Structure 1
Amino acid sequence: QTQMPRGRILDRNGEELVVNQATWAITVDRTLDDDDRAVVLGQLAELLGVESSQLAENYDDIRQSRLKPAIVAVGVEEKVRVAIQEHAEDYPGIDVEKLTVRHYPQGNVAAHLLGYVGEISAEQLEARRDEGYQESDEIGRAGVERAYERELRGEPRRETMEVDPTGRPVGSPIDVEPGRVGNDVFLTIDVNWQRAAEESLAQGIEEARTLQNRNIEDHYETLKAPAGSVVVLDVRDGSVAAMASYPTYDPATLVDGISQVEWDALNDPALHRPLLNRATQGEYAPGSTFKLITGTAITRYGLWTPGTTIRDPGYLEVGDRRFRNFGGIAHGRVALERALTVSSDVYFYTAGYDFWKHWDEGFPDGLAIQETARDFGFGANTGIEVDEQDGLVADPEWKRELSYRINEGDAREDNAQWRPGDNVNVSVGQGGMLVTPLQLANAYAAFANGGTLWQPHLAREVRDAGGDGLRTIQPNAYRTITIDAPTRAAMHAGFVGAVRDDRGTAAGAFAGFPLDELPVAGKTGTAQVNDKGDTSLFAAYFPADAPAYVVVAVVEEGGQGSQIAAPIVRRIIEAMNNLELSDVEANEDGVD
């Protein structure tokens, strides 16, 4: 059985992202003893101009089958192939084999989305042997390569042979199944927008590393900003237009196998796990971007009306605790719209406290914020084709389970209590709340489109090698969220104000942007993380008056939302609309 070439992966416009490339590979017979193998690897190293230790590492690559000759070099030059084949007696146990390998015309663009292929594992083989897989077959191991394995793989070529008593083939095959090359998968992303998202994210992270970490008071230290992500969603059908994760990796390095040391580095937490797709697998406190949820809950459950004003002196006292606005700023009397524009924590703290009182008294709306969060898709998979995390909706049940898991004795019950401060923190996206960037983008997309929660998806269509359409991936709307018209109008105006009002938290990031021609609405977020710098978040949708796309940026230890995440989003929106690209520039005095 011989695997046929896999299908291509292309963007929404037919730009090739992954194709196949013919290449020559050198293999070493595994029956050679250690001494003979060391000799021939030394000869090969001299011929190839590499270290023999590198060839030995390739020989020992854990992803290669021990039942087949080991591939030690891929992409060898023609003169090397000829030298080995013409002087085979000098290279016992060495052969040259033509392979078809994955090639990436766009470089490492969209690496996390595309994923990679590798040798089938024992567990995968056990589960899929009935599908025609054999030892050492290649299979999609991550991303689109894995999600659309059945479409991309094709049908292997099979030859039935007669063999002699020693197992050697006798004569020509008595039956041949020619096989079929894999089908092509067209994605929903635009490669140019994808590239802009990755470049903007990387630029923003470099900029964040120049800013002072103001959470450290006893010495000067800059923000670490080790990682981040971007998600761009079409609010009209849930399709992913771009999705970036940093740090990234080069999928081409996985084509010909890597050493265990290199593989470990790609998964090392100390190196921020470059293989991790933070857009779907990173979990973060959403900070003030979560005010979308609390604002919706306030009117949905009848706590207040959109016009109800709350006095904001810069803090809220709950028992002996004082919960402050960012920077302790007092905003005076604010209603829902203004509270979103200036990001009044006190407005939402007060709502969280009032809901807690209802919970404490046994009223059914006591967990209104949590129920609304779940309605918007938090705390559960979105259903996208690639690996993702659920996030976490913090509630009394979660806190009790956590306390009994990590505490002992009387501390278990004492710390299991759901106290006012817990709900106050949840109201502004802290206190145990965790979301993925994709979940956050999907929630804002649902608000922007009027209440439809789509299942995010990466693929648009499957075609055969001849270009004939086989399957169209249909959008799936799996929930409708009811938001009354006055509430939606007030919140929308608040999000618009956050970008264009003089006191809007994102106004500085969008200074000079042509908002009259391309109105943008959005919300900044700054999430506190124990013993680390703040997480910088920004969620935006545009055009604000007829939303088409949502753009979300999250930067770990990146400072305030207005400092880094908002400028990243601005640059991506510029790229998507063919505007002059601005540099991602942060200001020292960012706001929430």
Structure 2
Amino acid sequence: MNDGVRLRLVILRVLAVSLLVTLGARLWVLQVLDGAHYRRVAEDNRVREVVTPAPRGMILDDQGAALVRNRTSLVISVNRSTTDRQRDGGKAVFEQLSSVIGMSVADIEKKIRFCGPKVPQPCWTGSPYQPVPIAKDATPQQALAIIEHPDRFPGITADLEAVREYPFGPLAAHELGYLAPVSQSQLDQQTAQLKKDGKPSSDGTYHLNSLVGVAGLESVYDTALRGVDGVQDLEVDRFGRVSGTASNTAPIAGDNVVLNLDQGVQAAAEQALRATLDKLPGDAKARTASAVVLNVKTGGVIALASLPSYDPSVFVGGISQQDYQSLSDPANGIPLLSRAYQGTGPAGSTFKIVSTATAMGLLGAKPDQKFPCSPTLQIGSQTFHNFEGESAGPITLHQALVISCDVIFDGFAYDEWLRDGGLRNGKGPYPPAAENFVKMAREMGFGSKSGIDLPGESAGAVVDRAQAQQIWSELKDSYCRRAKNGYPEEKDPATAKRYQQYAAEACVDGYLYNAGAAAQFAIGQGQYLSVSPLQLAVAYASVANGGTVYEPQLAKAIVAPDGTVVKRFAPVVKSKVDVPPDVLGYIREALHGVTTEPGGTGTGVFADWPSNIIPIGGKTGTAEVEGHQDTSWFASFAPVNDPQYAVVVSVPDSGQGAMYAAPVVKSIYQAIFGVGRPAALPGGLPPASLPSVVHDAGAIAAPQANGPAGAVPPVAAGALPDAAAPGAAGGAVLPAALRAGPAATGGQPAQVGVTSAGGPRAPPSSGAG
């Protein structure tokens, strides 16, 4: 053997040894180092999941009435793992099924096909091994036709399935929310997190056919409500045929969420708003209004109403594109939007509690000091007027709130603006501006989100000098372009010309914090202020309770299906108002005068109110909005001697606060305290305890009697003249559908129904005595 041959043999031996070493190393990596991973992958290839959705928890009001529950529905489904193995792919079975459920074979095949990039709806997004529902709410006759003839319908099942139900229709729809199929992005995020944590995919909360909360409380408390889905792992062969069951985990029902919200008060608020909107001229579909009722001692949300509303059941089983567009259409008032916490605008004179607190708490105004309430006040080139040019002469701030004198508060704001350096456009440097009116507004919760346990809350706006400069910098180019090109889209030439003049002025010196806008801020108007009804209710609650700003809370507790209290939600203090207690007391007394003293802007509405039993403090507001009719406001609290509730109502595009919003507030108090009607809250106080589960019966029982001893007694029906009856002063008669709702079953194994004491209670009736 020559040297060349010997060299080639050595090279071949080296290559062979290298290949063996490489293969051995790779085999060690696959079997030892990454063995667990590949065993898991192999297991995943061998096992397919079939998910049984867990019964979702109920959402209950403070008395135990089910606002959202589950109902059982007969669902007919197609199991493709069976029909696909049939000789004709299930065609014969589908023809038999078509004659039973009245659906064409073509439509059945569309519903059971798998979704993909080029496959439009309808299609199936779930697992190939999951039965595909094709007919929900089937009739018993249809189900029996399938169950009694399994030989004719192989692969077809008829089962009971829990679906979401809203017993009171659109009542509190914005707060309750709705469900929708889990999105692909949610599934991808879950997969990435499970991979990062080294957990199998079966540990995930969501599955391909999961429904998740996407709005309201259904979204915020989705984790508690959803429970744990049951998972059946099916063993399959290499052809995808089921050969056995690897494991089976039963579903665990979700927890129930108990609210501070009261169904009776909510129904009364929504019906009173509807009655008011029905009286207004114009397109009723586009009319909007909102109401807020808070527990001033805890921040609990007793009612949160917004019209127009919608029925959440439209989302059950999937909403059509046409229906969704209708719910989002401004011509219909955008029913999906809650004006109570997502809508903002000027608050009008209801904002004067902030200005009074600023004048007395920060600027040195005295309780008995008198200020001129003249018909007008001149600030630069602008003339500010009292309502209809009224004059009251020298009066105290108490009287200024009672009769709602604008120019006194305009004057305070103008003087403060001067102390802060006026326009501050000369040579500086200037000392930092105190901006006391802005400071006080923010202390009372304006200009920031209240913290309510709902998604999408608006923060409103409280603009200071620095923010005004920033906003102008961002919008300057737009102002200047509009100053040059005008507003050709505006139909009214006079309005277009006025807007163009505004734009021209803003283009030049829009960064200046001008005196006129500062004065308007003090009376709840102008470009520097925008508030939501919820924020205004939080502010009035802080005045009523002595200066504590609470975060509004809908949820009161989370309760397991067996009645165990999983979590109680304690009141959350957001901030404290830095105002002396005597000043807050002075404001409360002045607001009481609004509804009781001669000249008070609310006395006409509350003239027949039993103020000696349930004294009410409140403030009217009439906010001017460019291009619209006035917004009617009324903000209040009661009882004045021991405040328990703050009630705020806003009716845009209507008129004066005393004409539209105040009667709605009165109707809500009638419902709460039982004035001329049965009380929604017996004793005038929220329940002292939670609804409880009766273990033997598996039912929800109402909580104990409301409140401690000494509670404000309800006013007996007949105690007031007919003028105080609902409808005569802004109240409204509730329809029968709201006066007596259906029995509220839980739709869960541990909760077969709600007791008569804890079911939907009859809201206040229309009886006037």
Q: Give the TM-score normalised by structure 1.
A: 0.88
- Map 1:474-489 → 2, pairs under 5 A: 474-489=570-585
The whole-number CA distance in structure 2 between the counterparts of 1:63 and 1:353 is: 65
Match of 1:146 among 201, 204, 219: 219
2: CA distance, partners of 1:357 / 1:72 = 71
In the alignment, the residues of structure 2 paired with residue 457 and residue 439 of structure 1 have an alpha-carbon distance, to the nearest angstrom, of 13
Q: Distance in 2 between matches of 1:413 and 1:374?
A: 30
SS of corresponding position for 2:420? helix
Please give the residue correspondences for 1:148-167 in structure 2 after superposition, counting only pairs within 5 Å: 148-167=221-240
Partner of 2:264: 192
The residue that corresponds to 1:419 in the other structure is: 514
Aligned residue number for residue 566 of structure 2: 470
Is contact 2:375–2:390 with CA below 8 Å preserved after alignment? yes
**Residue 740 (structure 2) aligns with:** none
Deviation at 1:231, TM superposition (A): 0.7
Q: Give the aligned partner of residue 443 of structure 1.
A: 539
Structure 1 position 22 matched with structure 2 position 72:
yes
1:326 maps onto 2:387 in alignment:
yes
Counterpart among 354, 363, 372 of residue 302 in structure 1: 363
The equivalent of 1:213 in structure 2 is: none
> 1:413 offset after TM fit, Å?
4.7
Give the letter for the 1:80 counterpart.
Q
Establish whether residue 406 from structure 1 lines up as the match of residue 475 from structure 2: yes
Alignment of 1:54-453 (within 5 A): 65=125, 71=133, 73-83=135-145, 96-129=158-191, 130=194, 131-171=204-244, 173-207=245-279, 209-210=280-281, 226-360=287-421, 362=430, 364=432, 366-387=434-455, 388-408=457-477, 411-432=506-527, 433-453=529-549
Q: How much does 1:404 deviate?
A: 2.9
Task: Quote the Cα distance in structure 2 between the aligned partners of 1:393 and 1:89.
Answer: 71
Measure how far apart 1:56 and its partner are: 8.7
- 1:466–1:487 distance in 2 versus 1, CA, 3 Å: same
Cα offset, 1:30, TM superposition: 9.6
CA offset digits 1:388-427 (Å, max 9, x no partner):
1111002223333333333335854511211101101111
Following superposition, the deviation at residue 306 of structure 1 comes to: 3.2
Aligned partners of 1:45 and 1:55 also within 8 Å: no
Distance 1:453 1:288 in 2: 20
| 1:498 to partner: Cα distance | 0.8
CA distance, structure 1, for counterparts of residue 111 and residue 420 of structure 2: 61
Change (3 A) 1:222 1:386: closer
Query: Structure 1: how far apart are the matches of 2:448 and 2:123?
Result: 33
User: How far, CA to CA, are the matches of 2:123 and 2:653 in structure 1?
Assistant: 35
Q: Which moved more, 1:530-539 or 1:252-261?
A: 252-261
Q: Deviations over 1:128-169 (max 9, x none)?
A: 454421222011111111111111111111222321112232
Q: 1:73 to 1:403 in 2, by over 3 A?
A: farther
Question: For residues 469 and 223 of structure 1, what CA distance do their matches in structure 2 show?
Answer: 44
Instruction: Pick one of 666, 684, 687 that aligns with 1:570.
Output: 666
| Offset of residue 558 of structure 1 | 2.1
Closer, same or farther in 2 for the Cα pair 1:419/1:91, shift >3 Å?
Answer: farther
Superposition pairs of residues 543-554 of structure 1, within 5 angstroms: 543-554=639-650
Q: Deviations over 1:66-124 (max 9, x none)?
A: 76676554212111233456678999997645321011233332211111111112233
- In the alignment, is the contact (CA less than 8 A) between 1:236 and 1:548 conserved in 2? yes
Secondary structure, counterpart of 1:256 in structure 2: coil
Matched letter for residue 125 of structure 1: L
Kindly state the Cα deviation for residue 49 of structure 1 after the two structures are TM-superposed.
9.8
Partners of 1:55 and 1:206 lie apart in 2 by 47
* Distance in 2 separating the partners of 1:421 and 1:44: 72
Deviation, structure 1 residue 533: 1.1
For the 8 Å contact 1:523–1:539, the answer to whether it is kept is yes
Q: Could you tell me how far apart the structure 2 residues matched to 1:42 and 1:274 are?
A: 42
Instruction: Call closer, same or farther: CA 1:350–1:532 in 2, change over 3 Å.
Output: same
> In the alignment, residue 531 of structure 1 is paired with which amino acid?
G
Q: Indicate if the aligned counterparts of 1:225 and 1:557 stay in contact, CA closer than 8 A.
A: no
Encode CA deviations 1:503-562: one digit per residue, 9 max, x unaligned.
111111112111121100001111111111111111110001110000111112121111
Report if aligned partners of 2:595, 2:601 keep a CA contact under 8 Å in 1.
Answer: yes
Coordinate RMSD, CA, aligned: 3.2
Question: Relative to 1, partners in 2 of residues 1:46 and 1:537: Cα closer, same or farther, differing over 3 Å?
Answer: farther
Identity of aligned residues (%): 33
For structure 2, the 5+ residue unaligned runs are: 1-50, 85-89, 114-119, 195-203, 423-429, 481-503, 677-724, 731-769
Instruction: Check conservation: 2:367, 2:398, Cα contact below 8 A.
Output: yes
Does the C-alpha gap of structure 1 residues 162 and 57 become closer, same or farther in structure 2, counting only changes over 3 Å? closer
Cα 1:260–1:546, aligned 2, differ >3 Å: closer, same or farther? same
Q: Answer yes or no: is the 8 Å Cα contact 2:295–2:646 preserved in 1.
A: yes
Taking structure 2 as the reference length, the TM-score comes to: 0.69
What is the CA–CA distance in structure 2 between the aligned matches of 1:448 and 1:557, rounded to whole Å? Answer: 29
- 2:652 aligned with 1:556, yes or no? yes
Question: Is this contact kept in 1: 2:438–2:464, CA < 8 A?
Answer: yes
> Considering only CA atoms, is the larger Rg found in Structure 1 or Structure 2?
2
Quote the Cα distance in structure 1 between the aligned partners of 2:151 and 2:464.
Answer: 72
- Number of aligned residue pairs: 571
2:80 counterpart of 1:7: no
> Contact 1:230/1:554 (CA < 8 Å) preserved in 2?
yes
What is the DSSP-based 3-state SS (H/G/I as helix, E as strand, rest coil) of the residue aligned with 1:280? coil
SS in 1 for 2:660: helix
Q: Is the 8 A contact 2:286 2:330 kept in 1?
A: no
